[in-house]
Chains A and B, each alone.
Chain A
Amino acid sequence: MSHENDLREALFRAEPVNTERQQRFRDELAQIMEPRLSRCYRLYYTVSLVGLVAGLPGAACGVLFDGEHRWIWALGLLGCSVFAGWTFYILRRNTEPLRIMQGMSKVFTGLSAVVAGFLIFQGLQGPSLSNVFWALLGLLVFLLASFINLWNRVIVTERTMREHILRVEYRLADLNQSAH
């Protein structure tokens, strides 16, 4: 605590703490504090993994047999493989690495923008009903990814701003206290 309180500190000194027990408490708490996946989230990731793995043969068939959209299927295959690996990693760790995931939302927005751009370009090159639907799908994925990214940014910015304000407030309160 920043303020002086003689009796309080003297009381703490009157009762020495077992340092070995204290260290054990800190170690155990550090292990417990790492957030574990709840049953609901485990189910969600398991279902996602099953879906992604099931999508792999379909994407592979697309690469082999759909000459017109081969590169889209190839991207799908790559995406499914990467996300299946990522989901498996989360399930194995039994925890969500939220910091990495927040960074990933930016990458995902960029990737979906590139894919949407290609799909629209292809639609313009060879206009057909199926190409319009592909372009719309790309646009939808891009909009969803942008929304998630924007939402993350808003939350992070809001908290960072609040933290900066609190730092100033803390400094002022500390100075005020020192002056008295």
Chain B
Amino acid sequence: MTDADLILCEMLVLRCQRQDACAAGELVALFEKPLLYFLRRLVRSEDDAWDLLQETWISAFRALPGLRDARALPAFLYRTARNHALARLRHREADYRLHSAVDASPISSEPEPAFAAEDAAAVHAGLDKLSLPHREVLTLFFLRDLSIAEIAAVLGIPPGTVKSRLHHAKKALRAVLCEGGHHVA
């Protein structure tokens, strides 16, 4: 997020703390798309994603009056959304494996694939074929709302692990796209 976005966030949080109903609506509108996109990558079903988005905002608004660092709101929202999604996945998905050994191999020296806006449709379809840890880290990276340190805080892992997981996830996504006949730089 840019400085302007973070300031806007802080401003909206302040207005929410003053019980400004319009600010609450603006805050929801600001994060609606990226949070929904993130949740849909985690749970796949659109209905589930909307339900989880609602639960996320209920939790967020309960915590908002006591939120000291308003600029940490984006990371807080993604972490809350992820926690709700994982709680639901634990109940529903038998194949839920967050701590799978996907990042065991070291980072190779070959250049990381870069994804452009023209690849969006393929990237979007490819994300669904990745494992959950790869899917969530790549989605957070593509949404560009959070820094590596903030992604690490959301996922509850060290920043170094985020970098390596991101590296492996990009390679996995490139492999998926190449299988589908899509060329990535």
Contacts and interface: CB of A to CB of B under 8 A. Distances in A.
B142 interface: yes
A68 interface: no
Nearest to B62: A35
Contact of A159 (B18, B28, B30, B61): B18
B11 A7 contact: no
A7 B116 contact: yes
Contact of B15 (A32, A33, A163): A163
A32 B34 CA distance: 21
A39 interface: no
B61 A6 contact: no
B115 A7 contact: yes
Interface in B1-53: 1-5, 7-8, 10-11, 14-15, 17-19, 21, 24-25, 28, 30, 32-34, 36-37, 40, 46-47, 50, 53
A13 interface: yes
A21 B46 contact: yes
B123 interface: yes
Contact-residue bracket for chain B = 35 or more
Candidate in A3, A11, A12, A99 with the most chain B CB atoms within 10 angstroms: A11
Interface residues of A, number: 41
A15 B5 CA distance: 24
Nearest to A175: B4
A6 B116 contact: yes
Contacts, number: 105
B120 A14 contact: yes
A5 B14 contact: no
Contact of B50 (A3, A7, A21): A21
A125 interface: no
Contacts of B61: 33
A5 B144 contact: yes
B54 A7 contact: no
B63 interface: no
Given A7-B117, A10-B117, A166-B10, A15 B142 contact: no
A170 B1 contact: no
A14 B124 contact: yes
Closest 5 CB pairs of A and B: A10-B120, A6-B117, A14-B124, A173-B4, A173-B3
Interface of A: 1-3, 5-15, 17-18, 21-22, 24-26, 28-30, 32-33, 35, 98-99, 156, 159, 162-163, 166-167, 169-170, 173-174, 176-177
